[in-house]
Amino acid sequence: MTKTRDVAALEQIARQIRRDSIRMVKQAGSGHPGGAMGAADIFAVLYGSVLDNASTTRAVEGPDRFVLSNGHICAGWYSALTLAGFFPREELKTHRKMGARLQGHPSRHKFPDVVETSSGPLGQGLSVASGIALGKKMRGDAGTVFCLTGDGEMQEGMVWETALTAAHKGLANLCLIVADNDVQIDGPTSEIKKVRPLGDKFAAFGWHVIEIDGHDIAALLKAFDAAKAETARPTCIVATTTMAKGVAFMEDDPKWHGACPTDDEYERALNELGRAGDLEDF
């Protein structure tokens, strides 16, 4: 996949990521399709345009680095990685299989060249990303460290400890993206434990804050440009997203945080998403 800033091309990549996420969960018989589909535009812009990886074999050595904190949405990330050329798309068939690299939560042990940290316990990714960013700053290394989280993770105390530290250390090379869909496994985030207004909270902690529609490709491109251009503070992009974006009967339903579609639901979902141009299913 050649890097591009063409909005239509990136929209097609996001569509393919949604198709792949549904297919992976269905073939595995379990998984987390909703968050993966909701973050598809973010993954598409990061891997289709923004990230300077330098290599398609060892992402952990690139100028830019990426940490997936909400690891359960990894189906979308794995899809983006294949489209960017990190491993063959055929390997997506092994998602959640015993012994495979593509576990249900990313495993550094299984995939050390790409996965910065194993995930599962939510709220820890920002701490890891902050540590990587601090190390890069101390060495004078170029590049930005990106970390994707869900809004439910904002209920974790570790996030706010790290937010204080990152601002205090002036980690301008750190960019947090919060996929804010107001859904977690037990229901609406706003009913489980209110975390909004997230932008105001991060601004109060000393962060550069950008609030956007997380499905607006042009807005995502502009936000990432601004994050890379920031020279004094860490950046938080609050990206409003829709759980299971692209399939009407799944959207905003907490059920799809972690559920496998029936045969009928699977066919309906793929038909509603439609084909992704010249891109192919695995």
pLDDT tens, position by position, 14-60: 999 999 999 999 999 999 999 999 999 999 999 999 999 866 667 77
Distance CA 281, CA 212 (A): 30
Q: For residue 2, what pLDDT is reported?
A: 85
Q: For residue 241, what pLDDT is reported?
A: 98
Q: For residue 166, what pLDDT is reported?
A: 98
> What is the total count of domains within the chain?
1
What is the per-residue pLDDT across 47-84, written as a single tens digit (0 to 9) for each?
999 999 866 667 777 899 999 999 999 999 999 999 99
Split the chain (282 residues) into runs of 10 and give each run's mean pLDDT: 93 98 98 98 98 76 94 98 95 97 96 92 95 98 97 97 98 98 94 96 98 98 98 98 98 96 98 92 92
Distance CA 91, CA 72 (A): 18
Q: For residue 120, what pLDDT is reported?
A: 82
For residue 1, being part of any structural domain is answered with no
Contact 86, 102 (CB under 8 A): no
Q: For residue 130, what pLDDT is reported?
A: 98
Residue by residue, DSSP assigns the chain as: ------HHHHHHHHHHHHHHHHHHHHHHT---HHHHHHTHHHHHHIIIII---S-SS-GGGSSSEEEESSGGGHHHHHHHHHHTTSS-GGGGGGTT-TT-SS-SS--TTT-TTT-SS---STT-HHHHHHHHHHHHHHHT----EEEEEEGGGGGSHHHHHHHHHHHHTT-TTEEEEEEE-SEETTEEHHHHS----HHHHHHHTT-EEEEEETT-HHHHHHHHHHHHH--SS-EEEEEE--TTTT-TTTTT-GGGGS-PPPHHHHHHHHHHH---TT----
Distance CA 104, CA 101 (A): 10
Strand partners, 175: 146, 235
Which residue range is the domain that position 94 belongs to?
7-273
Q: For residue 151, what pLDDT is reported?
A: 97
Peptide bond preceding 197 in cis form (omega within 30 of 0): yes
Contact 44, 21 (CB under 8 A): no
For residue 282, being part of any structural domain is answered with no
For residue 112, being part of any structural domain is answered with yes
For residue 146, being part of any structural domain is answered with yes
For residue 280, being part of any structural domain is answered with no
For residue 2, being part of any structural domain is answered with no
Q: For residue 121, what pLDDT is reported?
A: 86
Distance CA 85, CA 14 (A): 15
Name the residue among 86, 85, 84, 100 with its Cα closest to residue 24.
100
For residue 253, being part of any structural domain is answered with yes
For residue 164, being part of any structural domain is answered with yes
Q: For residue 199, what pLDDT is reported?
A: 98
Q: Which two tokens stand for residue 36?
A: 């993966």
Q: For residue 59, what pLDDT is reported?
A: 75
Angle at 213 between CA 199 and CA 177, to 5 degrees: 55
Amino acid at 258: G
Determine the straight-line distance between the first and last CA of the chain, rounded to whole angstroms: 15
CATH number of 243's domain: 3.40.50.970
Q: For residue 278, what pLDDT is reported?
A: 87
Q: For residue 54, what pLDDT is reported?
A: 61
